[in-house]
Amino acid sequence: MEHSFSDMLALLKQLIATPSVTRQEQEVSAIMKADMVRHGYTPKEIGLNLLLYGHSYDPAKPTLLLNSHMDTVKPVAGWTKDPFTPTVEDGKLYGLGSNDDGAGLVSLLYTFYQLDSKPQAYNPIFLATVEEEVNGTGGMKLAVNELPKIDVALIGEPTGMQPAVAEKGLMVLDFTVHGKAGHAARNEGINALYRAMDVIAMLRDFKFTEQSDLLGPVKMTVTMINAGTQHNVIPDTCTFTADIRSNEFYSNHRIFDMISAALPEWCEIKARSFNLNSSRIDVNHPLIRKAAGMGMVPYGSPTLSDQAILDCPSFKLGPGQSSRSHTADEYVTLDELEQAVPVYLDLLDGMEL
């Protein structure tokens, strides 16, 4: 079945019209499955994730994974349109998930159909995932256990069809600072809030010396704090949270160890997860060299995606712009959507991995 822009646009509109906030993806997963079946495929269902193998899959060949996600964030305040009503105005398709990640999702799916319609030197496979927006256990973390060996992965996030060859990692740290309670009217106790302020000042000035040419320095930001029970009691505990975005020179374990070594004994630290490390593909990889030859400009992305969970070379490339994601009146242009599949095919069709 030939690629049809009208079919692809109709599918994207159907996805927008079907609420798919994270952990509510049952209906969109069913819609995606129906399109796959209509094109002659029977997807492997891994929870709500959908995995497609090509008709001529050969384990002896290298494998290219095409991946996008089906879930969206909740609609933010400020929408002037119904986020679940696909609306075309002035060449723009508005709707929640139109840009992140509906355009990439349908574009890569229809790219897969085209790639699999003729012999390739590699196996194209396609994976539509859920729970990407919250890094949930039912999404890529579940699906990755069912994947064959992947030689390279292309993630269809909105990048303006420029290859994001590096991606910052994420680690969230929770701190607990201990003091001693006392009456605020007397010079009693040890104020855990004041102690926490000293630790926060240390973290604000903490230096990570190794900077990435694509991702810049590690960025650590304290984002939440809580202390005290009432106005006249010296707080004996203060908790706060830090958001850390790493580059490829620092694993999350290394960052955790560095910070732990700098803390006083009255401050505890816990990491919510160590899994989301920074990722990067060699700029000399054949796909990146070909992309550059097509006029694309490799860059580093500050946002996280499912590629952080994959253990293979990977990069992001997709229609739309990251700056539109998670915003009111989210949109993708019809031109961006229509041009995506031809660009993907120019890059991937006939490629030697």
- Condensed to tens digits (0 to 9), the pLDDT of residues 108-139 reads 999 999 999 999 999 999 999 999 999 999 99
| 3 has a pLDDT exceeding 70 | no
Percentage of the chain with pLDDT > 90?
96
- Condensed to tens digits (0 to 9), the pLDDT of residues 300-324 reads 998 889 999 999 999 999 999 999 9
- Condensed to tens digits (0 to 9), the pLDDT of residues 170-214 reads 999 999 999 999 999 998 999 999 999 999 999 999 999 999 999
- Strands 92-94, 331-333: parallel, antiparallel or unpaired by DSSP? antiparallel
Q: What pTM value is reported for the model? A: 0.89
Q: Which two tokens stand for residue 273?
A: 């997860």
pLDDT on residue 4: 82
Q: Please give the Cα distance from 177 to 265 (Å, whole number).
A: 9
Q: Please give the Cα distance from 19 to 10 (Å, whole number).
A: 16
| 91 has a pLDDT exceeding 70 | yes
- How high is the mean pLDDT of the chain? 96
pLDDT on residue 2: 52
Burial per residue of 219-251, b for 16 or more beta-carbon CB atoms within 10 angstroms, e otherwise: ebebeeeebeeeeeebbbbbebebebbbbbbbe
Q: How far is CA 314 from the centre of its chain?
A: 12
Query: CA torsion angle for 114, 118, 119, 123 (degrees, to 10)?
Result: 20
